[in-house]
Amino acid sequence: MRALLVVNPQATATSAAGRDVLAHALASDVQLETVETSYRGHAADAAARAVAEGFDLVVAHGGDGTVNEVVNGLLTACQDPLDAPALGVVPGGSANVFARALGLPRDPVEATHRLLMAIESGSRRQVGLGLAEPAGADSRWFTFNAGLGWDADVVAEVERRRDKTASPLLYASIALANYVKQMLTATDLLVELPDGTKEQTRLAFVSNTDPWTYLGAKPIHMNPDCSFDGGLGLFALRSLAPPTIARTLSQILLPLGPPSGGNLLRLDDVAEVRVTAQRPVRLQVDGDDLGEHRQVKFTSVPKALRVAV
Total-model pTM: 0.93
The answer on pLDDT for 180 being more than 60 is yes
**How do strand 189-192 and strand 145-148 relate by DSSP bridges?**
unpaired
Beta-carbon contacts of residue 141 (< 8 Å; ≥ 6 apart): 68, 71, 72, 75, 76, 129, 130, 131, 132, 285, 301, 304
Contact present, 226 and 210 (Cβ < 8 Å): yes
Contact present, 149 and 288 (Cβ < 8 Å): no
pLDDT, tens digit, 9 for 90 and up, residues 149-172: 888 988 888 877 765 566 667 777
The answer on pLDDT for 44 being more than 90 is yes
The per-residue pLDDT of the chain, averaged, comes to: 92
The answer on pLDDT for 43 being more than 60 is yes
What is the dotted CATH code of the domain comprising 2-123?
A: 3.40.50.10330
pLDDT, tens digit, 9 for 90 and up, residues 166-179: 666 777 778 777 88
Length of the chain (residues)? 309
Tell me which of 73-77, 182-186, 215-219 is least confident: 182-186
Looking at the structure, give the CATH architecture of the domain made up of residues 131-303.
Sandwich (2.60)
CA 117 – CA 92 distance, rounded (Å): 19
Q: Read off the pLDDT of each residue in 235-245 and give the average, rounded to a whole number.
A: 94
Cis peptide, bond prior to residue 211, ω within 30 of zero: yes
Beta-carbon contacts of residue 302 (< 8 Å; ≥ 6 apart): 128, 229
| Amino acid 124: pLDDT | 96
Residue 185's pLDDT band (cuts 50, 70, 90) = confident
| Amino acid 171: pLDDT | 72
Q: Which residues make up the CATH 3.40.50.10330 domain(s) of the chain? A: 2-123
Q: Which residues make up the CATH 2.60.200.40 domain(s) of the chain? A: 131-303
pLDDT, tens digit, 9 for 90 and up, residues 244-284: 999 998 999 887 788 999 999 999 999 999 999 999 999 99
